[in-house]
Every structure is written in C-alpha cells, then in structure tokens.
Structure 1
Amino acid sequence: MFERFTTGAREVVNAAKEEARRRGDRTVGTPHLLFALTRDEGPAGEALRGFGVFRGAAEDAVDALPARDGLDGEALRVLGIDIDAVREAAEDAFGPGALDAPRGARRERTATGHIPFEPESKKALELSLRQSLKLKHKYIGSGHLLLGLLQDRRFQAARALSGAGVDLDALREDVIRRIPPQAA
C-alpha cells in the first residue's frame, strides 16, 4: 500500500509521527494524522483550511473529546455500560480526571523510539487506499488520507471535526473536488 503514497502523503504520515512525539503520546492516532493534514499544502490541507480547520482548532477539537480510556464504547453500550456516566460518577466521587492515565504513562515508548500506529489510524490508512481505488486513482495522496479519516465517523479525528461543527459530508465532497486524477 505504501508504494502508492505520494511524497506529500508520506510527509503527512511522518508529520503525524512527529505530532505524536510532540504531544508525548505512545502511539499515532487519527488525531495526529489530522494535525499533520492541517499543515498539508495539497488537497487535504486546502479543504480543511477552507472549512476553518487550522492546526490549533484541530487540537482544541480533539482535546475537547471525552476520554474513552481505550475502551470500546459501543461494545460496552451493548452490555448496558455507559462510559460517560461511569466517568462522570468517578469524577463526582474522586475529582476531575480521576480515571485519566497518569501523565508519565503517556510518555513511555519502545526502546527504539518507534511510535506504533493505533488500530484506528491503521484502518484510516487502509480506507485511504479504498478511497483511492473507488476514485479510480493509481496513487494515494493527502486528499485520500483525509477521506480515509472521514470514512468512519467513529474515528477520533472525525468525531473531533464533527464536534467542532464541521459538516463531514460537505468536507468530503470538497476534498474529492480538489484531488487531481493523477499524482502531481
């Protein structure tokens, strides 16, 4: 799949890794890809900026998301467990951030300094390939990466954009219009 990535798309993926390092995170998630895409000079960055999504706004939107503690909210909901209600009850009883991971835990990395991609961000990259194929393109560019992030509305990046008032369908259509049929 990565052989189809344009230079710009590879730069976005590398920038996402740097975003994770900068924030002290152990893994690369869809928010890191979103942060990197806001700085992109290609179709994705142009579309995001056209919708008022700049680096700071993206980070604020992601930080405003309720923490999920790595738990699968949908699976727990099926069992009758509401993560938000549990978090609220814990914070009422023990104070704000009672269930947050200790800050030091976020800073752990592998011995090599490698920061792995979360399953969600791997899925977004896979979906970018599917979007490229759907558009009958022979490459994966930054626009396809953004389409991959928007494909699943459960992704943190998509939830952050939606929570910030971005119309995901309109953003999707805008980026599709901006993606050239051939790699530049």
Structure 2
Amino acid sequence: MASFLFIAIMFGNLSAYARLLDNNEKQRYAANTAIFGGIDPYSIELKNFILPLDELPRITSEAVTNFLIFRVSPATQAEIRAYKSLDAFTQFASKWIEDIKALKINNSFCVIGKVMHLQKINSPSLNIWLSLSSNGDILNSHCDCVAGLGEACTHVAAVLFALEYVSKQEESVTDVLLDRAKIQEKFP
C-alpha cells in the first residue's frame, strides 16, 4: 500500500512525456526521479538550468564504462552491457550534441541535453537527462528515444562522453557547442 501511495504521489510530479509511458515504465521513471525529490527533469523550465558545466563533479572514463556496461539493470537484475553505446563517442566527436545544461537539486546534479538522431537527421532532437552524485558517480539516466527506457542508449552515452571530455579539458562544452553553431552558420 505504501509503495502505491508513493507511486501515486510521484506520478503527480511527472512531465506530460512521462505520463504517456505505460504503467511499468512510468513506475521505473518515477523511481529514477526520486533522486531529485520526485521532480521530473523534463518538467523543469530550461531557464533554471544555470549551473556552469565546469562546476559539475569530474566524470571519468571508468564511471562512464561502469554506468554503460557493468551497472545492474533494475528491470533484469543483470549487467546492462550496452556495448553499442560505446560507439556514441562518434556522436560526441561529430558534434551531434546540440546542448547540455546542468542544475543542482538536493545533493545531486541534474544534467539535461539535446542530441540529434543518427538515422533521422530531419527529426527533432532527442532529450536526455541524467543524474550525478557529488563525487562524479552516474546514478541514472533517461532519453526520450525508443531505447532510452533502457537507460543506456547512445544519446545518453554521447552526453556522458562530452562531460568526460570537459573533465579532462580546459575548454568547456559550451565552447565546443558554440564552435558547432559557428560551423552550421557557415554551412547551413
């Protein structure tokens, strides 16, 4: 009974996107937002994401690999083993990430991003969110693509690679995204 009440309360805070998920997916999604006190990242206005990306905890390649490959799926109780998501580095390197923003909620960090489709270039960009602990552990993620319900799609991975890159570089992700915008202005 208590878990039903918890889920009912959580559903009240979900975005329009999340409310369209089937019940099992909705429960998992609501559980993932618990790290943010039940606040759905898709329901937060973009203007609130004001944390400079260089103030995020350092993301290491080990953290990215652990999250994409070795993390245990709550649905299957087996390792995720999303080896294909490791190919997402090319999405980052090819500058398919349109935007990354961050916000601190409670003791965690919420990162949102927009990533272009690989196969559907004219389709709207996909929206991802992920949560980070204060020590740089990747806690969970979501993408509104078909594979995003598995929490380890290539779009999430591309943003993770971008954050890892920022952790290693002096140049910020914002600078990288601005370079991409300049190129698009020259070659629309």
TM score, norm. by length of structure 1: 0.26
Quick check: which has more Rg, 1 or 2? Answer: 1
More helix by share: 1
TM score, norm. by length of structure 2: 0.25
More strand by share: 2
